[in-house]
Amino acid sequence: MDQGSDPASSCEIAEMAKQRRIGLSALLITILTVTQVVPAQSLIVTLALVLTCLSVTTMVIFFGPMKSLLAHKVYFYLVVMTCIVLAGGWLEGALA
């Protein structure tokens, strides 16, 4: 069996891709806010970005591909909530 078809390896790559996309989204929001391409309330956006960074750090430290089903459920909900906080913070900051 080659390394590319290993289910654990494929799961780990998918988890890293999610974390990378969330991080890149946070970076893009930071750049748009700092350069004021999109005027936004910096306090609201900063709070959303801090919560996002803490969440991504938690994902990297505590969740891996070889965890239990409960851990995978918690990871899924953490990813979903992180996306909601990031999108909601950006929307609230840009519309306020």
The pLDDT, as a whole number, for residue 1 is 46
Quote the pTM value: 0.79
Q: What is the DSSP letter of 38?
A: S
> Distances in Å between the alpha carbon of 74 and those of 10, 53, 86?
19, 17, 18
The pLDDT, as a whole number, for residue 18 is 86
Helices (H), the chain: 7-34, 42-62, 69-95
Q: Can you give the pLDDT of all 96 residues of the chain as single tens digits?
A: 455 566 567 777 878 888 899 999 999 999 999 999 988 888 999 999 999 999 998 888 887 666 778 888 888 899 999 999 999 998 998 887
CB burial string 64-78: b at 16+ within 10 A, e below: ebeeeeeeeeebeeb
